[in-house]
Amino acid sequence: MYSVLVVDDDDSVREFLKELFVGKYEVFTASNGQQALKAASQHEPDVMILDIRMPGMSGIEVLEKMSSVSPKTQVIMGTADTDLDQVVKAIKLGAFDYKTKPFDFELLSASVEKALERLNLLNEVENLRFEVSTKYFKDIVGESEPMKKIYDIIERIKNTDASVIIYGESGTGKELVARAIHYGGARAVYPFVAVNCAAIPPNLLESELFGHERGSFTGATMMRRGKFEVANKGTLFLDEIGNMSFELQSKLLRVLQDQRFERVGGNTEISVDVRIISATNADLQKLIEDNKFREDLYYRLHVVPINIPPLRKRQSDIPLLVSHFINKYSPKLGKKIMRIDKEAMDILTEYRWPGNVRELENVIERSIVLSDSEIITASALPKNILDANDKENINIASGKSLDEAEKLIVEKTLSKAKGNKTKAAEILGITRKTLRNKIERYGIDA
């Protein structure tokens, strides 16, 4: 049952409104501002009918405090005809509606119902925002310390309009972080628009961002809105910002400063409200030194920097990512893959992952397709990863004496074979007896 809090210093008004709404809503009453705030804190009413003029704390003063006491409560102000200035102030402070006294009870009842409709809509939007933000946070997998720092930054900035720049190698998940910021914040119900500045020819990128008027260039047969207009009230994600031409950087800077621009071939200024999140795998400071990136634009974009580490620097997250991708792709591919075995996991953990998380995702998807059982084994992994693992054995042994190198390789192979001497001998291409002799010779604990 919805609840209504009636606040009025007139006993008869309180009692009459209580009689009017009781049975339909849960009704609470208060005779002054202090009681109103206490009742609001205890009950968090859905609607408050609040008299503007009361002795002591006025209705306006109560309204000012409601955002911290019970922020979702929809407030309807009760006012005399002479209180119009106060009404304007109340609306600016967030009051849902106002009704003149003495009340027309049909109009008041209708206002309460509309207030409840608005409350339901706000709750639906909040739930949708939570569901969407949760989805995008789930796609960012990792519990390593670098990732925990990123989660903390996202939480701190998601409800602000601060410009964000995300640094990271290709495949680290820069767009996932950008989406988590957008869909976790106040702009979640508005568009998230992504533009890859490296994928669009420089002569077309201006039109892509700002749109163009009909006839502005050859092939412009109709007016087209740009990404800034499409992203109005939402977020524009500019990926690979370091690839933007120096000339276009100047136009972007003006939009960031003024939130206004003109379409290509147009002369009418268009105003927008857009949050900018950019990303790059380039060294912008070096580009500035080489006069390829504007320093003033850099400072406009570099308000909140986020650095995503490459996968090789957060190896502890690899098992979590592998499990995430198995759960993601097994149902899609009609497979029942339960897990990955230790040998295969060890190989994946030790691989350098030049393509980062994107490469790991592709490897797991491929391995699921090729697996004949419920467990992914090393045999399902791509040859380049297995070859890299073999080369690693050689690299580990480099700089050692022959005996030291051989001991290290035997130890590492036994570890990968989980102590299984027959399997280790097969990997090394020697007999089990030869392996046993080497274990005894080098004093290997096996």
Q: Average pLDDT for residues 124-149, to the nearest whole number? A: 75
Query: 389 lies in a domain?
Result: no
pLDDT, residue 21, reads: 92
CA distance linking residue 109 with residue 111, whole number of Å: 5
Instruction: State the pLDDT confidence band at 433, using cuts at 50, 70 and 90.
Output: confident
CB atoms within 10 A of CB 403: 11
CA distance linking residue 245 with residue 225, whole number of Å: 21
pLDDT, residue 189, reads: 86
The total number of structural domains that make up the chain: 4
Kindly state whether residues 154 and 284 are assigned to the same domain: yes
135 has a pLDDT exceeding 80:
no
Residue indicated by tokens 């339909």? 24
296 has a pLDDT exceeding 90:
yes
Kindly state whether residues 410 and 298 are assigned to the same domain: no
pLDDT, residue 65, reads: 92
Query: 132 lies in a domain?
Result: no
Q: What are phi and psi of 398, to 5 degrees?
A: -65, 140
408 has a pLDDT exceeding 60:
yes
Query: 288 lies in a domain?
Result: yes
Kindly state whether residues 149 and 285 are assigned to the same domain: yes
Instruction: State the pLDDT confidence band at 136, using cuts at 50, 70 and 90.
Output: low
Residues of the domain holding 368: 311-382
Query: 361 lies in a domain?
Result: yes
| pLDDT, tens only, 39-60 | 999 999 999 999 998 988 999 9
Kindly state whether residues 349 and 443 are assigned to the same domain: no
82 has a pLDDT exceeding 90:
no
Q: Average pLDDT for residues 136-163, to the nearest whole number? A: 89
Kindly state whether residues 118 and 146 are assigned to the same domain: no
Query: 131 lies in a domain?
Result: no
Q: Structure pTM?
A: 0.64
Q: What mean pLDDT value characterizes the chain?
A: 89
Complete edge-to-edge strand list for the sheet that includes strand 235-239: 192-196, 235-239, 275-280, 164-167, 304-307
From 410, 407, 432, select the one nearest 421 (Cα to Cα). 432
Query: 144 lies in a domain?
Result: yes
Query: 434 lies in a domain?
Result: yes
From 205, 290, 289, select the one nearest 241 (Cα to Cα). 205
Kindly state whether residues 165 and 298 are assigned to the same domain: yes
pLDDT, residue 151, reads: 92
Higher-pLDDT residue of 42, 445: 42
